Amino acid sequence: MREGSAPLIRREDYAAPAFWIKTVDLTFDLDPAKTLVINKMTVAPNPALPGAPLRLDGEDINLTRVLVDGEPVSFRTEGGQLVLENLPQQPFNLEIRSTCAPEKNTQLSGLYTSSGGFFTQCEALGFRRITYFLDRPDVMATYKVTLKADQRKYPVLLSNGNLVEEGKLDGGKHFAVWEDPHPKPCYLFALVAADLVRREQRIRTRAGRDHLLQIYVRAGDLDKTEHAMNSLIASIAWDEARFGLSLDLERFMVVAVSDFNMGAMENKGLNIFNTKFVLANPATATDVDFGNVESVVAHEYFHNWTGNRVTCRDWFQLSLKEGLTVFRDQQFSQDMAGSPSARAVKRIEDVRTLRQLQFPEDAGPMAHPVRPDSYLAIDNFYTATVYEKGAEVVRMMHTLVGDEGFAQGMALYFERHDGQAVTCDDFAQAIADANPDSELAKRLDAFKRWYAQAGTPRVKVDGVYDAANQIYTLTLSQSCVATPGQPVKAPVVIPVAMGLVAPDGRQLNLHFEGQLASVGHNTVLVLSEPEQAFTFVHVPVEPVPSLLRGFSAPVVLEAELSDDALFTLLSHDQDPFNRWEAAQKLSLRRLLAAVAGSGHVELDARFVEALRGVLRHPELDAAFKELVLTLPSEAYVAEQLDLVDPQRIHAAREGMRLQFAHALHEDWAWAYEQHHELGGYSPDPVSTGRRALANLALGMLVLDGSVRHNPVWTGKALQRFQDANNMTDRLGALSALVNAHAEQAEQALAHFHQQFRGEALVIDKWFSLQALAPEKDGKVFARAKALMLHPDFTLRTPNRARSLLMALCQSNPAAFHRTDAAGYVFWADRVIEIDGINPQLAARLARAMDHWRRLAEPYRTAAREALSRVAARTELSDDVREIVTRALQD
Ligand code: TRP
Ligand code: ZN
């Protein structure tokens, strides 16, 4: 374990390296206990920095020898680095031999073993755990890799690029040689040596080239690879059609591994995936899983251009590849969804994620700009801010320059920077330069503050109607509160897509003062000053403003609309996002009133009727109905408050859910009967929506039945659980029983475990489901704690650890935040325990306490004590130390 000594790394300290590494020839003699690595490099001094020593990064490896141009040289190690001095001033050969112990690598960074095979993960700083190297993304080299391993145990030997040779060796071993013609930073290096089977397909692309696509999995999982293969083929076609970006490799491989810290990794030509984001079939994966596989496969594939062909100069630029690639995968998934309404559903889901993860991050101790200024452990900055807010920043550029302009900007970006390691500024500059007359180009410096400033801007809206002159004036103002290290914020450029809706539901023509013609029903206001007024003429009635349509900017909108106005938007807005948003606001208003007041929601008939109207609506899609009828999460409610009492929020929300369940009983029954499917399974948006709505309805019906001691729906759910022909419906029925704390849940849970005991990803669901149930009398917490002792539980497999611990500590506030502090004690013990195994994973769990300062007493004091106990440990990884010290900082 790295121990607390790393210095803070600052963006402003960036300097070019003193040497470049041009070619790398790696030989691996693979053995779980002791793998020998021979690394032969050609190194060229940077003429700008003559005479500087060469400092190579290394971590947890045993160095055995160093040769310069074939001769052994003396060397020293300093702070983990290998330092070589008095080197030739011309290009030279450097050979380094070292060994490492993959089976002891529980961090899953570098070379490690999983289910008896070898796998690597090098982003961000894993390559230094394999060999000494200039482990930074601006050093790009071509690689030749020779793998040697026992043929029987590791029949498949893979690395980046093309297979150039393979054969047998003595002693039951075999070898393979791979060459990657594309220069790459070492974080994109990968190797796999394991006993795997594959699905493969040959394709010919629009560009007329032939490619071999392969997906490697363990023997029992081949029947779960069809969806990933289809997603990959669709991604390749999409990037060609949309951006003219073709696959630049003869062979593109995807490998699934069950021990993995994150979702997946875009290693050049050899993507390595967490099994959770590759494997899917109807019996074991839910609709949500199918959607995730599609978007993660696309995300990693899109990195082949945005990330790999053009990479990051340094890790502060991470959003250059991640924000852009998330934007691309979101656009792809929307296009795959097809209909306007299915596209809106995807957008609403993305915004929900942003608000649930990124907004709280921006409001807490880990707040950081999309392009951070400093870090202790870069792994801690693979965040919702860098990914999701980064994607919103790219989306705003897209909004400001249009679809065509954005495509031209992308073309210019590749024309300028293909093969380079660049910065976020370079990207924004390319988009702006390709669109010189756009609002983006005109205000580029102000726009780029989105990269530099942390915190979620707030936009206040004031609308004034002058009936006599039929003039409507919208005044928008922006502000952003201080975040750690950034006391003052400058205004940013905020595109506000909008329209005006008449009280009777008509969309009004938008006619700006001083202009000859109207611009139609939709426009984008560009707010770049602290305050700006926009005046519309020929407005026949006092309108309801529909602002931030499609969530055109990652801001909090404070529009103070009346209930009347929100009801108008809910039933009539042409923008489905704002219809959903109106329902969220109406729910939120009621929830917040209850939390601030009696603790209890008294649902008004008008609201109930409006939701009944949505549920019974003859034209709206089921998927959209499900989103509208799902109440804002407890985390989102907490987000709105300065002082958070998680138990009070839980009680109010559960109370409201119960009333909905009862008041709409007949309607839920109707919805269930109308939407639950009996036929074959297909993961398309329409069937997915129908299942989502049917399962929401079933949950409500079982909940209502269980409080009223009416067993009818519990029985139906049990039946459904047994008969379901797909995991979405089986899990939906099981959740309905578990979430209602129905008696029959125990038996169903036991049956489910028995039925799926060989399927790791399904057993993860079994753990999560129990840890996510709505808390009732401390039962959920007690059960989660007991599940730690279950024979299937282990902290060593991140998926399994997360399925129980993240579910409890991060996603179930009412089970976690207890007045007796037991949740925090449990959290601290687990963070410490996991830190000894896998610091990256421990640091993710550590973040569950990010918001302790906003907690009410007695939570706050107890949370601080738990944090302080972790922070006081002498043996703490940099990863966890960074999270807990930031949390405790004033
Ligand atoms: N680049 C990966 C992505 O596409 C992220 C990633 C995968 C990662 N594995 C990691 C980041 C391990 C840090 C550590 O999102
Ligand atoms: Zn990525």
Q: What is the pLDDT of residues 440-460, one digit of tens each?
A: 999 999 999 999 999 999 999
- Pocket residue to mutate for ligand 1, from 257, 262, 318, 841, most atoms within 8 A of Cβ: 262
Tell whether omega for the bond before 454 is within 30 degrees of 0, i.e. cis. Answer: no
What distance in angstroms lies between residue 266's CA and the mean position of ligand 1's atoms? 8
Query: Could you identify the residue written with the tokens 């804002």?
Result: 632
Neighbours of 81 (CB within 10 A): 18
Q: What are the domain boundaries of the chain?
A: 1-195
Report which protein residue has its CA nearest ligand 1's atom 5.
Answer: 265
Q: What are residue 285's phi and psi, to 5 degrees?
A: -115, 145
Q: Which of 766, 771, 739 has the alpha carbon at shortest distance from 754?
A: 766
Average pLDDT over residues 669-682: 92
Residue 621 Cβ < 6 Å to ligand 1: no
Residue 388 Cβ < 6 Å to ligand 1: no
> Which helix (H) or strand (E) is 712 found in, with range?
helix 712-723
Tell whether omega for the bond before 434 is within 30 degrees of 0, i.e. cis. Answer: no
Report which protein residue has its CA nearest ligand 1's atom 11.
Answer: 123
pLDDT at 2: 43
Residue 261 Cβ < 6 Å to ligand 1: yes
Residue 438 Cβ < 6 Å to ligand 1: no
pLDDT > 60? residue 362: yes
Q: In what order do the strands lie in the sheet with 270-274?
A: 197-204, 210-217, 251-257, 270-274, 264-265
pLDDT at 542: 98
DSSP secondary structure, 680-702, as one string: -----HHHHHHHHHHHHHHHHHH
Report which protein residue has its CA nearest ligand 1's atom 3.
Answer: 265
- With bands split at pLDDT 50, 70 and 90, how would you rate the model's confidence at 439? very high
pLDDT > 70? residue 480: yes
Average pLDDT over residues 11-19: 98
What distance in angstroms lies between residue 265's CA and the mean position of ligand 1's atoms? 5
| Separation between Cα atoms, residue 843 and residue 168, nearest integer Å | 43
| Separation between Cα atoms, residue 72 and residue 57, nearest integer Å | 19
pLDDT > 60? residue 590: yes
pLDDT at 1: 40
Residues 6+ apart with CB under 8 A from 302: 235, 239, 325, 328, 329, 332
* Rounded to 5°, angle at Cα 241 from 240 and 243: 65
What distance in angstroms lies between residue 321's CA and the mean position of ligand 2's atoms? 7
Residues 6+ apart with CB under 8 A from 516: none
Atom of ligand 1 nearest to the CA of 322: 15
**Tens of pLDDT along 559-580?**
999 999 999 999 999 999 999 9
Tell whether omega for the bond before 340 is within 30 degrees of 0, i.e. cis. Answer: no
Contact 38, 132 (CB under 8 A): no
What distance in angstroms lies between residue 318's CA and the mean position of ligand 1's atoms? 10
What distance in angstroms lies between residue 322's CA and the mean position of ligand 2's atoms? 5
**Tens of pLDDT along 72-129?**
999 899 989 999 999 999 999 999 999 999 999 999 999 999 999 999 999 999 999 9
Q: What are residue 183's phi and psi, to 5 degrees?
A: -60, 140
Q: In what order do the strands lie in the sheet with 140-150?
A: 71-72, 62-68, 92-100, 35-45, 19-29, 140-150, 173-185, 162-168
Residue 382 Cβ < 6 Å to ligand 1: yes
Q: Is 300 a catalytic residue?
A: yes
The type of residue at 582 is A
Quick one: what percent of the chain has pLDDT higher than 90?
97
* Ion ligand 2 neighbours, Cβ < 5 Å: 322, 325
Residue 879 Cβ < 6 Å to ligand 1: no
Residues 6+ apart with CB under 8 A from 829: none
Report which protein residue has its CA nearest ligand 1's atom 1.
Answer: 265
| Separation between Cα atoms, residue 113 and residue 659, nearest integer Å | 51
- Pocket residue to mutate for ligand 1, from 111, 121, 129, 329, most atoms within 8 A of Cβ: 121
pLDDT at 378: 98
User: Three-state SS string across 764-817, please?
Assistant: HHHHHHHHHCCCCCCHHHHHHHHHCCCCCCCCCCHHHHHHHHHHHHCCCHHHHC
Residue 775 Cβ < 6 Å to ligand 1: no
Report which protein residue has its CA nearest ligand 1's atom 2.
Answer: 265
Atom of ligand 1 nearest to the CA of 307: 1
Report which protein residue has its CA nearest ligand 1's atom 10.
Answer: 262
272 alpha carbon, closest ligand: 1
Q: Which of 484, 184, 142 has the alpha carbon at shortest distance from 310?
A: 184
What distance in angstroms lies between residue 721's CA and the mean position of ligand 1's atoms? 36
120 alpha carbon, closest ligand: 1
**Tens of pLDDT along 723-742?**
999 999 999 999 999 999 99
How large is the C-alpha radius of gyration of the chain?
28
Assign residue 575 a region (left: φ > 0; alpha: ψ between -120 and 50; beta: otherwise): beta
Residue 584 Cβ < 6 Å to ligand 1: no
Neighbours of 334 (CB within 10 A): 17
190 alpha carbon, closest ligand: 1
End-to-end CA distance of the chain: 28
Tokens of 209: 């080239």
Residue 123 Cβ < 6 Å to ligand 1: yes
Atom of ligand 1 nearest to the CA of 108: 12
| Separation between Cα atoms, residue 190 and residue 253, nearest integer Å | 11
Contact 18, 43 (CB under 8 A): no
Neighbours of 430 (CB within 10 A): 22
- Pocket residue to mutate for ligand 1, from 105, 114, 120, 123, most atoms within 8 A of Cβ: 123
For residue 412, the SS3 value is helix
- Domain covering 1-195 in this structure, CATH number: 2.60.40.1730
What distance in angstroms lies between residue 306's CA and the mean position of ligand 1's atoms? 14
* Burial of residue 690, with CB atoms counted within 10 A of its CB: 0-12 exposed, 13-18 middle, 19 or more buried: buried
494-501 vs 507-508, strand pairing mode: antiparallel
Average pLDDT over residues 828-840: 98
- Pocket residue to mutate for ligand 1, from 114, 382, 383, 799, most atoms within 8 A of Cβ: 382
- With bands split at pLDDT 50, 70 and 90, how would you rate the model's confidence at 512? very high
**Tens of pLDDT along 531-562?**
999 999 999 999 999 999 999 999 999 999 99
| Separation between Cα atoms, residue 292 and residue 161, nearest integer Å | 26
- DSSP state letter for 131: S
Tokens of 553: 């900017």
- Pocket residue to mutate for ligand 1, from 119, 128, 261, 276, most atoms within 8 A of Cβ: 261
| Separation between Cα atoms, residue 378 and residue 155, nearest integer Å | 35
**Tens of pLDDT along 373-427?**
999 999 999 999 999 999 999 999 999 999 999 999 999 999 999 999 999 999 9
Query: Which is the catalytic residue, given 59, 123, 294, 300?
Result: 300
pLDDT at 5: 66
pLDDT at 4: 47
